[in-house]
Amino acid sequence: MVVPKLVFISNTTELGTVYCKKELEEISEVCKKNNLLLYIDGARLGQAMKSYVNDVTLADIAKFADAFYIGGTKNGAMIGEAVVITNPALKPYFRHNMKQKGALLAKGRVIGIQFNKLFENKLYYKLATHANNMAMSLAHGIDDAGYKFLAPPESNQIFPIFPNKLIDKLSKNFEFYVWSKYLKNTSVVRLVCSWATKEETINSFLKSI
């Protein structure tokens, strides 16, 4: 086998749950003891930071991770993610590596401009909060209707368990992903709310349920 060198986690996770500070601290300690790098996929970092269960700051993320990225594409940006390298050993020649792999864009500053705007007046967090709030409204309505979840709703991704007959009916008017089969005649679906999700869309979905 190859020699492990890096631990890769996502926050939020693929199930929409959020790492707490204690968990990240413990993962970081294990990595340091075993000479491993810790990389955090932050595609939905904004939603993680604004989750009602979150107790982590950006400073904490920078402290625990050797590198992470602040997701832009899934939180209002047209394209791009902002890579943050905190481990000094990873910084030398990073731009050369980018160019070698075809990731150094001639007009890359255009992508950077988006992040300047996203972090003005806390817009980045406002957009993430809206996505989370819409998902929580959706989750509360689904819970009130008597349906369970694969994982506790903590961010803008929720995973309710629906009867297959209901899924078939909903799919005629709404687009979503069937995550996996569950028990007999039921499946888990993945519902994602974004910075642009409208309240009337949530109400329409809940009315259909």
Extents of the domains making up the chain? 6-122, 127-208
CATH class of 6-122: alpha beta
Per residue in 22-37, pLDDT tens?
999 999 999 999 999 9
CATH homologous superfamily, domain 127-208: Aspartate Aminotransferase, domain 1 (3.90.1150.10)
pLDDT tier for residue 62 given thresholds of 50, 70 and 90: very high
pLDDT at residue 102, as a whole number:
87
pLDDT at residue 204, as a whole number:
96
Mean pLDDT of 110-126: 94
Task: Give the DSSP per-residue string, the chain.
Answer: -PPP-EEEEESS-TTS----HHHHHHHHHHHHHTT-EEEEE-TTHHHHHTSTT----HHHHHHH-SEEEEE-GGGT-SS-EEEEE--GGG-TTHHHHHHHTT---TTTHHHHHHHHHHTGGGHHHHHHHHHHHHHHHHHHHHHHTT--BSS---SSEE-BEEEHHHHHHHTTT---EEEEE-STTEEEEEEE--TT--HHHHHHHHHH-
Q: What average pLDDT does the chain have?
A: 96
Mean pLDDT of 157-185: 96
pTM: 0.92
pLDDT at residue 105, as a whole number:
84
Tally of CA atoms within 13 A in the half-sphere of 56 that contains its CB? 24
pLDDT tier for residue 12 given thresholds of 50, 70 and 90: very high
